Amino acid sequence: MLLGIASLVFFIIHIAPGDPLDMLINQYQRNVPSPETIEAFRIKYGLDQPIHIQYFKWLQNCLAGDLGESFRYHRPVTTLITERIPFTIQLTFLALLFDALFGILLGIISAVKQYTLTDKIISVGSLIIYSIPGFWLALMLILIFSVNLGWLPLSQTRSLDYDLLSGVDQFKDRLMHLILPVFVLGIASAASTARYLRSRLLEVLNEEFILAARARGIKEKAVIFSHALKNALIPIITIYGMSLPFLLGGSVLIESIFSWPGMGSLAIEAVQNRDYPLILATTMMGAILVVLGNLLADIMYAIVDPRVSYDT
Amino acid sequence: MLLEVTNLRTSFFLDNGELKAVDDISFSIEEKQTLAIVGESGCGKTVAAMSILNLVSLPGRIISGRVNFEGANLLELNNDKLCDIRGRKIGMVFQEPASSLNPVFTIGAQLRETLVRHTQLNKHEISARAIKLLGDMDFKEPENWVNAYPHQLSGGMKQRAAIALAMCTQPKLLIADEPTTALDVTVQAEILDLLKFLKEEHEMAMLLISHDLGVVAELADRVTVMYAGKQFENASLEHILTVAKHPYTQGLLKSMLHLDTINNDFLEVIPGSVPDLLDLPKGCSFHPRCSLKESICQEHVPKISLHKNNTLCACHLVTNQY
Ligand SMILES: Nc1ncnc2c1ncn2[C@@H]1O[C@H](COP(=O)(O)OP(=O)(O)O)[C@@H](O)[C@H]1O
Ligand code: SF4
Ligand SMILES: [Mg+2]
């Protein structure tokens, strides 16, 4: 399946307008390389060959585990990706954590306080946040907190004087840089988690076993936090698995807005430079992460939900 | 008197009006006695039971009445005191065992939670007690079943687990809401026998809810008949089975006799069905289905009145000489 996706991407980028060589030439605006250099480049990367030959060559290398060399960086794309991927994982993981913490908290509050003002504020608020485009929110927050108030850094993962800072300050510095991207990336999914959990909790609270627990004298706190919450949270795990693609998709945008050196910004650069091997590799990585996320969600689901057993 | 319910009214306030699910019901249960509430489905029996435990939630509300249990009105107790009575002094078994057990906790976890809530036992004693409770409910190898999840149990076992939960602290009163209705015919008898045994063994009072007079006849000492939220009759079991005059009770009796022969075709003896509680017929709510009705029945609601032998009856035709 991964190869299928990559193959599709392979043909799309070759059909799409733009030539990697034009991009290369643009880079050297001041001293344009000679036609011979260009021709040498074309031959080196096999771009002189017909597309089907290129395809089969690429496929062959791919299966042998060789994803090729970036046109732009002249380094193996696998190296580039392994350099960048920790940043994306850091961002996505923290965004998921943010989502879990706030989404679940707000979901519980608004379900327990159903129909009160608090509930309405949370519901309307999460609907608004859910519908705000991520890039717009990112730009607004940058404008407010970085440009006007100057509380938070504009972009990047750390300050320019990072190396001069003490250990604690270095940690703080990284944290400050994480706040906005994590917030922007996590808030929309936190909003959808809150909305989902609210409706699911209200559904569960109407179930007969909740009534039965109350009839046994179980205190309301335990009824909500143990009986109802466990039932309501189980499907959330699947939702998480499914929200991973959206988070990753969102991170492409957020990473380039915040100049975050992750996979997302790498992918954007790759597309901008018509860096074919890199485009293919980042696409495949994205697909792998999505599949992994779903797999993880399935496994978690089987672990936490007693009704799912491995042998059926 | 262990439990005394007086003039209980519970309504659901819906968009299209007030649904009077329980409309002025009174009965009482002595210690060790079993009272049955009978009536077709949708007559307000479950709502009456939930009202006793003060467990009616919006859009429903208990409008008036008293539920005196061991001298205290449960409808006026604060929440903490109420929670101490629920599950400790009054146990409840629900109609659908499949939905009254929490699917994501083991049977043992649910038993232990209830035991922790209502007893001072230590951890070890609680685990042992949970196993013993299942054993008392005729589970073979209860030490294995405590670790099972509800979905791993058969319908009958689920109901026995639910009864174990209700019996955790040997309550003085057990409310059993159609405890056998959702089960296979073969299992029904087992559960009935178990309930009968428990009630005698623990000298427990019981409020049995059923639409089936056959079940009621096995367990009850006294019977209250409900129809469309109203109380039609309240008398001893013997009286109900032999001399009851209320046309609805007679219909139920006839249908009981026919139930086994005609393939469970319920209540075919009484034509028609329970009216919409939001749109009750004028006068006696039973009159469209009553073969004995007279013109007064369509105009005036029959008052419930006291007759000989401490019997209550609400029918224009049943007069004082009865
Ligand atoms: N939560 C609820 N909301 C609205 N109406 C309800 C609710 N629960 C019960 N009712 C109504 O109350 C009436 C009595 O219901 P119930 O007590 O369950 O009947 P029974 O137990 O005798 O079958 C029914 O008409 C039902 O529609
Ligand atoms: S009051 Fe009239 S309609 Fe109602 S049960 Fe008696 S005879 Fe039938
Ligand atoms: Mg019922």
Whether residue A100 is contained in a domain is answered as: yes
pLDDT score of B101: 93
Residue B7 φ/ψ region, left for φ over 0, alpha for ψ in the -120 to 50 degree band, beta for the rest: left
Residue A33's pLDDT is: 65
Confirm or reject contact between A202 and chain B (CB < 8 A).
no
Domain-embedded: residue A8: yes
What mean pLDDT is predicted for residues A276-296? Answer: 80
Question: What pLDDT is stored for residue B195 in this prediction?
Answer: 92
Q: Is residue A246 part of a domain?
A: yes
Categorize the per-residue pLDDT at A57 as very low, low, confident or very high, splitting at 50, 70 and 90.
Answer: confident
The pTM score is: 0.78
Q: How far is A202 from chain B (nearest CA, A)?
A: 13
Residues A111 and A237 in one domain: yes
pLDDT of residue A309: 56
* A181 vs A175: CA distance, rounded Å: 11
- 10 Å CB burial of residue B90 (0-12, 13-18, 19+) is buried
Rounded to the nearest 10 degrees, the angle between the axes of helix B155-166 and helix B185-201 is 20
The pLDDT value recorded for residue B261 is 47
The total of structural domains in chain A comes to 2
* A115, A15: one domain: no
| A28, A155: one domain | no
**What pLDDT does B47 receive?**
94
- A153 with A290, same domain? yes
Tell me which of A125 and B26 has the higher pLDDT: B26
Mean pLDDT on A62-75:
72
Same domain, A237 and A170: yes
AA identity, residue A67: L
Rank A53-57, A257-261, B303-307 by mean pLDDT and report only the highest.
Answer: B303-307
Residue B245 Cβ contacting ligand 2 at under 6 Å: no
Q: Is residue A92 part of a domain?
A: yes
Q: State residue A90's pLDDT score.
A: 82
Is B165 close to A230, i.e. CB distance below 8 A? Answer: no
Q: What are phi and psi of B73, to 5 degrees?
A: -80, 110
Question: Does B292 contact ligand 2 (Cβ within 6 A)?
Answer: yes
Nearest atom (ligand 1) to Cα of B277: 25
Q: If you average pLDDT over every residue of chain A, what do you get?
A: 78
Tell me what pLDDT residue A311 has. Answer: 46
Q: Measure Cα distances from B180 to A228, B46, B208, B216, B260 in Å.
A: 26, 14, 11, 11, 16
pLDDT of residue A17: 62
Helix (H, G, I), strand (E, B) or coil at B44: coil
Q: What residue in A sits closest to B151 (Cα-Cα)?
A: A307
Burial class (CB in 10 A: 0-12, 13-18, 19+), B275: middle
Contact B232 CB / ligand 2 (< 6 Å): no
Q: Does A87 share its domain with A42?
A: no
Burial class (CB in 10 A: 0-12, 13-18, 19+), B201: exposed
Q: Which chain A residues are closer than 8 Å to B103 by Cβ? A: 209, 231, 306-307
**Cβ <8 Å between A207 and B99:** yes
Same domain, A253 and A173: yes
Top-ranked range on mean pLDDT: pick from A155-164, A209-218, A222-231? A209-218
Does A31 score more than 70 pLDDT? Answer: no
**What percentage of chain A reaches a pLDDT higher than 90?**
3
pLDDT of residue A312: 40
Q: Which residue's C-alpha comes closest to atom 3 of ligand 2?
A: B287
Mean pLDDT for A269-275 is: 77
A200 near B CB under 8 A:
no
Residue A272 placed within a domain: yes
B91: chain A residues, CB-CB within 8 Å? 216
A207 in the same domain as A111: yes
| Cα–Cα distance, A246 to A248 (Å, whole number) | 5
pLDDT of residue B262: 46
Flag whether pLDDT at A11 surpasses 60: yes
Higher pLDDT, B91 or A5: B91
Q: Are residues A208 and A154 part of one domain?
A: yes
| Interface contacts (A, B; CB < 8 Å) | 76
- Are A26 and A171 within one domain? no
Q: What is the CATH number of the domain that holds A190?
A: 1.10.3720.10
- Residues having CB closer than 6 A to ligand 1 are B 12, 19, 21, 39, 41-47, 59-60, 277
Closest residue by CA, ligand 2 atom 1: B315
Integer angstrom CA distances of residue B279 from B20, B230, B248, B288: 10, 14, 19, 13
Q: Does A216 touch chain B (CB under 8 A)?
A: yes
CB-nearest partner of A306 from B94, B117, B149:
B149
Answer whether residue A312 is part of any domain. Answer: no
All residue ranges of chain B with pLDDT < 70 are: 258-268, 320-322
- What's B3-89+173-271's CATH class? alpha beta
Residue of A nearest to B83 (CA): A217
Same domain for A148 and A293? yes
B69-74's contacts with Cβ under 8 Å and 24+ in sequence apart are: B69/B2, B69/B3, B69/B4, B69/B173, B70/B2, B70/B172
Q: What's the whole-number mean pLDDT along residues A94-110?
A: 87
Closest CA to B101 of B61, B129, B134: B134
Q: In chain B, positions 96-125, which contact chain A (CB-CB < 8 Å)?
A: 96, 99-106, 113-114, 117-118
Q: Which domain holds residue A11?
A: 2-63
Contact between B222 and B215 (Cβ < 8 Å): no
My answer on whether A105 and A252 are in the same domain is yes
DSSP-assigned states of every residue in B155-190 = HHHHHHHHHHHHTTT--SEEEEESTTTTS-HHHHHH
Enumerate the domain spans of chain B.
3-89+173-271, 99-168
In a domain, A311, yes or no: no
Give domain status of residue A94, yes or no: yes
* Interface contact A218, partner B, CB < 8 A: yes
